[in-house]
Amino acid sequence: MEHEIYKGYELWGHVIARRDELQSRDGYAASGTVMQDRRLVEASGVLDVFYDEAAAIEAGLAWARAWVDTHG
């Protein structure tokens, strides 16, 4: 989990490690969270599954930035 400050919002990129039993591969479910003044503003739910943890975190942060750009 990583965070950044963007246009006055605190953004978080989350990953949940998971195992795909059908393909026998490990992966990371990505999501994003937008907060302001320590309060939840919006959360994405699962965006996609990535096989690289850093890519999953970046996807969550990218979703959060896009949310701020369109709603903030």
How sure is the predictor about 26, in pLDDT bands with cuts at 50, 70 and 90? confident
Interatomic CA distance for residues 55 and 38, integer angstroms: 26
Q: For the segment 11-23, what is each residue's pLDDT rounded down to a tens digit?
A: 999 998 887 665 5
Enclosing H/E stretch for 50: strand 48-50
Say if pTM beats, i.e. exceeds, 0.75. Answer: yes
Q: Which domain holds residue 31?
A: 2-71
Tokens of 64: 């959060």
Q: What percent of the chain has pLDDT over 70?
A: 92
Q: For the segment 41-60, what is each residue's pLDDT rounded down to a tens digit?
A: 999 999 999 999 999 999 99
- Residue 29 is part of a domain; what is its CATH number? 3.30.160
Q: What's the total number of domains in the chain?
A: 1
